[in-house]
Structure 1
């Protein structure tokens, strides 16, 4: 999703999809996927939400090499009616929302270089497929993503894309979920990142705060470093329920009257699970 509406490449169709051209991947590119996959799955056991780990199995993502989107989509469609389509990179917001609303997840087809294993500015096929797709095999989360896409189409007409983008960021990309007395990872930006998978659960620096829809949509976020606040949902069912039961038009109107919150803010009304030291952010600020 990109607010600057990039120009559509010549090779892309009207909906910005392109052929994956799976046969063009080199052995080195498949090896990069395998290295990333092995590293992440070894570390995520007991840390990622069980629904994510189940999705890896249902979709057979443990098979060697970069997944073929056609084969992956066949399994995903059987599970929840979703499919994966290749795009050239970031796509305009209206295109992104339309794909989600129609149960299509857009994924970049390129993979990072071996020297970029730990950080990549633009999402690649590992982030998009390993990070996002396993949870799309879960029926409740799949419904949430479709609802988000439908909400995005409405938000465009209300001039509120920026507020809604914060909901995506703090749930789909960087969300945490309760699992009994423990916290687990589910956000794609976390589960696809070796460093943030450790930081989000174990580091004393960030705040971990119970999810509240309006509060999240007031909250700015970091795009250049680990998050300073993580929001914790009780369950995917509750996240979907709040999304479907909320009338967003008056919520957007109310948000226009409220100030934005900085990425490290704790409000008196917050249910704070972990009050962080913010040591990581302060260190980087020096």
Structure 2
């Protein structure tokens, strides 16, 4: 998601819609090498952990090709599958810009890549997070429809002063969502699949709660951006996620949520459907074996 502290006009060199050239030919061998290192590490980790939809997208989009993907080539493949494309932006963009691109099936992605000494954590999303984390799910027709609907919902939420609640939905699905598949829980959120540590933590650590997805519940739940999640929400399928978020009028839902108190990130309610109850004993800096 975006932030409300950004400038209101595109920076120098950006188009009116905040897009910029990717300038793929300017990447250095070292930058391509960082992508290859990150890709190899995650590609070895994700089978048996990532959702079938994510792994299919990774394969069909040919992201295993060495080096940082060329957005033009990637968009050609995506357009043939789900009508989406990937556009480069200079960094985080204003909410209205973000939602307009998403509503029109354009996924905004940063074009820079982290340094070799930043493999495990970067505060601002880079091309690895945005492309490796998000784009494979855009090859899935149902999830592609969900993100388009989210963009249109975001455009409406701006006028309803409800962005806080919609941001929580994005966080707990698009960024940090789990899905129940026949073989067990799987990860699909970009913040998890692009993270070497959280790919394991989200599924295997005893600390976090894993709670069945409920739209109102998710919209009430705060999140933290500086650590692993204390609660993960589990959808039964992407079809049911799409249905739950498109077969409802969000305006009265926002009014209902606004009347209730916010929930702490690790809180469990009596009426939650708890998939696994966590110990909540994780502390920042804990090593994962």
Correspondence for 2:222: 220
CA spacing shift, 1:17–1:274, aligned 2, 3 Å: same
Give the TM-score normalised by structure 2.
0.97
Deviation at residue 171 of structure 1 after TM alignment: 0.1
Give the root-mean-square deviation of aligned CA atoms.
Answer: 1.1
Q: Secondary structure at the match of 1:280?
A: coil
Q: Tell me, which stretches of 5 or more residues in structure 1 are unaligned?
A: none
Q: Secondary structure at the match of 1:184?
A: strand
Deviation at residue 105 of structure 1 after TM alignment: 0.1
Q: How many residues align?
A: 284
Q: Secondary structure at the match of 2:112?
A: coil
Q: What is the CA–CA distance in structure 2 between the aligned matches of 1:201 and 1:31, rounded to whole Å?
A: 29
Deviation at residue 2 of structure 1 after TM alignment: 2.2
Correspondence for 1:119: 121
Q: What is the CA–CA distance in structure 1 between the aligned matches of 2:125 and 2:264, rounded to whole Å?
A: 24
Q: Secondary structure at the match of 2:282?
A: helix
Q: What is the CA–CA distance in structure 1 between the aligned matches of 2:248 and 2:166, rounded to whole Å?
A: 13
Correspondence for 1:9: 11
Q: What is the CA–CA distance in structure 1 between the aligned matches of 2:283 and 2:156, rounded to whole Å?
A: 35
Correspondence for 2:49: 47
Q: What is the CA–CA distance in structure 1 between the aligned matches of 2:183 and 2:271, rounded to whole Å?
A: 22
Correspondence for 1:203: 205
Contact map agreement 2:227 2:284 (CA 8 A) in 1: no
Q: Tell me, which stretches of 5 or more residues in structure 2 are unaligned?
A: none
Contact map agreement 1:218 1:255 (CA 8 A) in 2: yes
Correspondence for 1:279: 281
Deviation at residue 5 of structure 1 after TM alignment: 4.4
Q: Does 1:101 align with 2:71?
A: no
Correspondence for 2:259: 257
Q: What is the CA–CA distance in structure 1 between the aligned matches of 2:73 and 2:284, rounded to whole Å?
A: 46
Q: What is the CA–CA distance in structure 2 between the aligned matches of 1:261 and 1:281, rounded to whole Å?
A: 20
Q: Does 1:69 align with 2:110?
A: no
CA spacing shift, 1:116–1:283, aligned 2, 3 Å: closer
Q: What is the CA–CA distance in structure 1 between the aligned matches of 2:267 and 2:220, rounded to whole Å?
A: 11
Give the TM-score normalised by structure 1.
0.98
Deviation at residue 246 of structure 1 after TM alignment: 1.3
Any idea what the Cα deviations from partners look like across 1:173-222, whole Å, max 9, x if unmatched?
A: 00000012510000000000000000000000000000000000000001
Contact map agreement 2:3 2:92 (CA 8 A) in 1: no
CA spacing shift, 1:280–1:23, aligned 2, 3 Å: same
Q: Secondary structure at the match of 1:168?
A: helix
Correspondence for 2:62: 60
Q: Secondary structure at the match of 1:279?
A: coil
Structure having the larger proportion of residues in helix: 1
